[in-house]
Structure 1
Amino acid sequence: MGLRFRKSFKIAPGVRVNVGKKSAGLSIGGRGVRYSVNTSGRRTASAGIPGSGLYYTSTKSGGSRAKSSAYQQRQALQRAEREREKMEQLELAQLEVDMYENQVELLKSIHKEADEPVDWAYLAKAEPPFQAGQAGPKEKEARQALEAYQPTWLERIFKGRQLLKRQKLELAVTKGKEEDDSAYQNWAELTTLSNDILAGDIDAYFRAIQEMDPLGDLTEFGSGFEFSTDDLSYMEVQFDVHSEEMVPLKEKKLTKTGKVSEKALTKTRYYELQQDYVCSSVIRIARDLFALLPLEKVVIHAYDVMLYTEIGHMKRECILSVIIDCETIEKLNLDLIDCSDAMVNFPHHMHFRKTKGFAPVTALAIEAE
């Protein structure tokens, strides 16, 4: 029989320390109620009535392990779920930072995208999709399919299927004719518009802007475009920059722990982004209009809402007015220019300070050049 080492000694009334070969413990209480804690993690609570024979003991082990495979699998799945949630949080944080960085880069590069030039002379000579008074290609194709239709043996037995198939082919003929008529109408309208523009019809300029919507994808950068002119050589544009919606107030970075850190932009940084955004938008507007119409110049007035603290009211003000000519803008290296610096290439009114941003300016008139 092996020897067991165990020693117990009292350190206070009702409190004893028990030392064994592999562990040590502490017990508190008297004969009726006692609570013990062991270094192995086991906790024991006992209660009884002395002399009665009634006694209760509860033992909990700190090192308990799941025994069933289902329970173990559940614990593994729960751990995987926690890891997945952690990864999702990291990915969402990275996405938020990426979106911020993309927005900043976009504000400075709006001018790099532009529509392809429209060749009105080529469009004016374009052949019609088919000869007037004849069937169009889609109607012909659908009619040939209808005329070539031969019901299968199953469709001959079930007459309803044969009727349904024929109705479907007849509807295809009607739809084909409608699509052909629409294509012919579009050709006719485009040909007329092309000839009117080449003939110097100012109203045709505005029809082209309305129908082709050259600045449609810029509505997220500026809205409420207004166009005006009384001369074929230029177009005047007013637009609202909405910098309070487009230029972020805070920069976002990813911390080492994978969380998003937000910090307010300095005034200098905010106003720098605002100026780049406005000037990049102005150059883009000019490029799109030069691509659409045979213009020599585009006069652009950028407006923004400004707070006047002395009266506590917001007011719409012109913050940049510039006359951009086609010849000069074609010479610029648009991939490398700083759009704010590029304004020196054109007659312009802009009052900008690094720590205060834009100040109101007077809109230029084309005669001012």
Structure 2
Amino acid sequence: MEMSWKGTLRSLEASARRSERNSQRRQRELQKRQAQYAKMEALEQAAYEVDVYNNQVDVLLSVHKECGEDIDWSSFISRAEPVQPRLSNIAEIEALTREQTFAPGLFVRLFGLENRQRKKLKAMVELARQADNDRFTQETQDWRTEHSDWQQEYSLATRIIAGEAQAKLDAIERLDPFSDIAHLGTSIKFSVGTSGVIEATLNVHGSRVVPSEIKSLLQSGKLSTKQMPISKYNEFLQDYVCSCVMRVGRELLALLPDDIVIVTAVDALLNSTTGHVEDLPVLSVVFSGQTLSRLNVEAVDPSEAMKNFTHNMVFKKASGFAPVQRVEPPSPHRV
């Protein structure tokens, strides 16, 4: 189904922002209840905290399940240029016709109302002329907005199909499909290497995002808070990182007409060479659109899913991630 030119990309932007999973809707509901937290009884507070915790876990582990619509950039090029409106005098012509064909009736002649009626009809002609002009002014303003959208989208689509690197970056910036990941604390930067492949770098800030405690309800209904075992924490972190990386890969391949993209996650790790904690790559993946399309993202384990792609990741339950090298684009490839 073809969208009208009026804000086509803006509609896609809005759609990307409206899209949310049940876990995200549940998160908003819990945030609304937060204002009532102080008024809750102790057991209600405990149940609320566990709800919030479980929802947080669900949100963090389902990042990869969201993705925007595939964009057909060639359709932007094939659409006709919006036609500039012309001034239509239809209202004025109708008013003039009424004025010129006016034939006073007996009542009007009897009470000497003909001049008043003719003046009224003449005034109606002027009002109709103004209405035509006002309508034309509004149509012109609408056309300018629509034409500006068409021009920008046509230009962007032409550049993207031509493989222009900056056009890809412009499209990512304009559509911004990663706002909910940023909300979780993950920042993303994009670049285009000499190969022309889009490369995304995520700073996942794992220690700030992934909870280190487990919250649950005791049989009494009271809150239980325990330190999460290190192996469980590391597995949680791995799934979160892989979920974010897969989400970025899916979004980029839906947004761009490319076959592959590279996504690298970095996090704070000890650099054994310098002895300092630095942001180092912990996972680097070459995502193929063809392979991604075959995955059941609703059921797949994000960490296990990495086995389907060329990737670098060193992970152990006991110690977590270790630094890795960024992957290079496979050769040969088509962008």
Shorter-chain TM band: 0.5 to 0.7
Q: Structure 2 matches for 1:80-159, cutoff 5 A?
A: 87-128=40-81, 130-132=82-84, 134=86
Q: Percent identity?
A: 35
Q: Distance in 2 between matches of 1:209 and 1:215?
A: 9
Aligned twin of 2:146: 183
The answer on 1:323 being equivalent to 2:289 is no
Match of 2:117 in 1: none
Amino acid paired to 2:43: L
Q: CA deviation at 1:122?
A: 1.4
Pair 257,176 (structure 1): closer, same or farther in 2 beyond 3 Å? farther
**Residue matched to 2:251:** 288
User: Highest Rg: 1 or 2?
Assistant: 1
What's the counterpart of residue 226 of structure 1? Answer: 190
SS of equivalent residue, structure 1 residue 124: helix
Asked if structure 2 preserves the Cα contact closer than 8 Å seen for 1:202 and 1:230, the reply is no
Aligned to 2:228, which of 262, 265, 268? Answer: 265
Structure 1, gaps ≥5 residues long: 1-83, 149-169
For the residue of structure 1 that corresponds to 2:294, the secondary structure is coil
Count of aligned pairs between the two proteins: 257
2:306 aligned with 1:343: yes
1:193 aligns with 2:145: no
Mean Cα displacement is larger for which, 306-315 or 209-218?
Answer: 306-315
Q: CA deviation at 1:133?
A: 5.2
Uncovered stretches (5+) of structure 2, i.e. residues with no partner: 1-36, 96-132
Q: Per-residue deviation at 1:178?
A: 4.6
1:233-264 per-residue CA deviation (whole Å, 9 max, x = no partner) reads x3111110111111001011123343322101
| Distance (Å, rounded) in 2 between the aligned partners of 1:207 and 1:172 | 35
Q: AA paired with 1:217?
A: D
Deviations 1:304-342 (A, max 9, x none): 012469987421111111111111111112122111111
Moved more, 327-336 or 282-291: 327-336
Q: Is the 8 A contact 2:85 2:143 kept in 1?
A: no
Amino acid at match of 2:191: F
CA 101–219 in structure 1, closer or farther in 2 if over 3 Å, else same: same
Residue aligning to 2:268: 305
SS in 2 for 1:305: strand
Matched residues in 2 for 1:326 and 1:314: separation? Answer: 34
TM-score (norm. length: structure 2): 0.67
Residues 1:236 and 2:188 aligned together: no
Q: Which residue identity is paired with 2:317?
A: K
Report how far residue 201 of structure 1 moved. 2.5
Q: 1:209 aligns with which of 128, 150, 172?
A: 172
> Which residue in 1 is equivalent to 2:14?
none
Measured in 1, the distance between the counterparts of 2:68 and 2:268 equals: 29
Distance 2:330 2:241 in 1: 24
Closer, same or farther in 2 for the Cα pair 1:259/1:202, shift >3 Å? Answer: same
Give per-residue Cα distances to partners, 1:150-181, cap 9 Å, x unaligned: xxxxxxxxxxxxxxxxxxxx999978765553
Residue 330 of structure 1 aligns to a residue whose secondary structure is helix
Instruction: Write the distance in 2 (CA, Å) between the matches of 1:132 and 1:102.
Output: 51
The structure-2 alpha-carbon separation of the partners of 1:247 and 1:85, relative to structure 1 and needing over 3 Å to count, comes to closer
Q: Distance in 1 between matches of 2:319 and 2:259?
A: 34
AA in 2 matched with 1:345? N
Which structure shows the higher helix fraction? 2
Q: Does the CA contact (< 8 Å) of 1:202 and 1:231 recur in 2?
A: no
1: CA distance, partners of 2:44 / 2:77: 53
Inter-CA distance 85–238: structure 2 relative to 1 (3 Å threshold): closer
In angstroms, what is the RMSD of aligned CA positions? 3.3
Q: Kindly provide the CA deviation profile for residues 184-206 of structure 1, in whole angstroms up to 9, marking residues without a partner as x.
A: 31122112211222233232212
Structure 1 equivalent of residue 319 of structure 2: 356
User: What amino acid is the match of 1:206?
Assistant: L
Structure 1 match to 2:113: none
Which amino acid in 2 is paired with 1:110? Answer: V
Most deviating of 357-366 and 86-95: 86-95
CA distance in 2, matches of 1:217, 1:89: 32
Residue pair 2:84, 2:140 contacting (<8 A) in 1 also: no
Which AA in structure 2 matches 1:97? V
Q: Which amino acid aligns with 2:192?
A: S
Q: Which has the higher strand share?
A: 1
Residue identity in the other structure for 1:131: V
